[in-house]
Amino acid sequence: MFLKGVLLILFSILNPEDLSTLIKQNVNLAFYERMEIISERLLNTPYKESSIGEGQGVDADPPVNLTYVDCVSFIEYVIAFANSLSIEEFERHIRFMRYGDREISFENRMHLPDNQWFPNMLKYGYITDITTEVGGSLAKDIKKSVNNGYFYISGVKIPSDRLIMRVVTIKYIPVSDVLKVVNKIPEFSIIRILREDSFRPYVTTHLGIVVKKKNGLYFRHSSRHFGGKVVDTPLVTYFSTFEKYENWKALGIGVYRINDIRKKDAE
């Protein structure tokens, strides 16, 4: 079972620092304080692309692996931790973020960020798109389509009926305007980095969260290009790297609020 596998893996990785205990110790804190605790605890965690799997089958990597993270699993762990009262709830949130209501398998995982992962996260209420709220009249749209009857992930052919949406409209703030709105981005928002459309089956290439320090806003993210680990990069500094994206130009950013699912469940 998925839950049993997660528990065994979590405890072996976190021993002696037990994630279950960490969750229980912080359940009475405010939602954003819980996000701060877990995201700060994950600072300096090494980056590893595709750090998770199903524990068996096509991708035998563990379902939860806090020894390594990529940019997506980092965000998933932060959201799951902040929304959980127990290790069982943590597992449930990870499952819904990765598979929705589908059976757990490599083919059913939300691999593509634009046509799977983000639509699924919005569907289950984990996040809310606030790009237009932040960008106002500067916000624009881009459509991303997957037109073939299938797509490939790690050499595995996956039928397009696994997509949440074949065509998706994504709100974004153009690269030329991001510095105009940087101070309007709320703390602990997700920043979604978008590139220009291409032959690739995605335009989203990176994610992170915004944290506030005494000297300004920072981008907390897991990146191979920034030390190969979870780091805090000054937000303005990170945005300045967009001009270096020569082979695949940066388009802009999307901004998303992370929601307190526990509050919604109680209403």
Query: pLDDT tier at 122 (50, 70, 90 boundaries)?
Result: very high
Query: Is pLDDT of 8 > 50?
Result: no
Pick the closest to residue 207 from 183, 184, 190 (CA basis).
190
- Rama region for 10: left / alpha / beta (φ>0; ψ in -120 to 50; rest): alpha
Tell whether 237 is covered by a domain.
yes
Domain's final residue, options 123, 140, 165: 123
- What confidence score (pLDDT) does residue 128 get? 98
Domain's final residue, options 63, 96, 123: 123
Query: pLDDT tier at 14 (50, 70, 90 boundaries)?
Result: very low
Query: Is pLDDT of 1 > 60?
Result: no
Tell whether 252 is covered by a domain.
yes
The pLDDT of 237-243, averaged and rounded, is 93
Query: Is pLDDT of 223 > 80?
Result: yes
Q: Which residue has the tokens 């270096």?
A: 244
The pLDDT of 230-236, averaged and rounded, is 97
The pLDDT of 17-41, averaged and rounded, is 89
Pick the closest to residue 93 from 238, 242, 265 (CA basis).
265
**0.95 exceeded by pTM:** no
Tell whether 264 is covered by a domain.
no
Check the CA dihedral 174-211-69-59 and report its sign: negative
Domain's final residue, options 123, 149, 164: 123
CB of 179 closer than 8 Å to CB of 136? no
Query: Is pLDDT of 133 > 90?
Result: yes
Q: Which two tokens stand for residue 217?
A: 């806003």
Do 134 and 70 lie in one domain? The reply is no
Query: Is pLDDT of 228 > 70?
Result: yes
